[in-house]
Amino acid sequence: MFDSEGLKEFDVEAFCIRISRVKSEIKGLLEEIIDFLMEYEWKEEVSFEKDDDKFMICANLYEDRENETITISLCLLLRISGFHPMGDIIFESEFNVEENELTISTENSDFNLDEEEIQIIFSDCWDEIRQYLLIEKEILEEIWEDE
The whole-number average pLDDT for the span 42-55 is 87
pLDDT at 47 over 90: yes
The whole-number average pLDDT for the span 31-36 is 93
Average pLDDT over the chain reads 82
* Least confident window among 46-55, 91-100, 105-114, 128-137: 105-114
pLDDT for the residue numbered 1: 44
pLDDT for the residue numbered 30: 94
pLDDT at 58 over 90: yes
Assign 8 a pLDDT band (cuts: 50, 70, 90).
low
Strands of the chain, DSSP E: 46-51, 55-64, 69-78, 88-96, 101-105
pLDDT for the residue numbered 140: 78
Query: Domain segments of the chain: what residues?
Result: 12-146
Q: What is the pTM of this model?
A: 0.79
**CA-CA distances (angstroms) from residue 10 to 18, 44, 54, 68, 111?**
13, 40, 15, 43, 10
- Is the pLDDT higher at 63 or at 39? 39
Write phi, then psi, for 65 (nearest 5 degrees). -65, -35
Assign 89 a pLDDT band (cuts: 50, 70, 90).
confident
Show the CA angle centred on residue 72, arms to residues 29 and 47, nearest 5°.
60
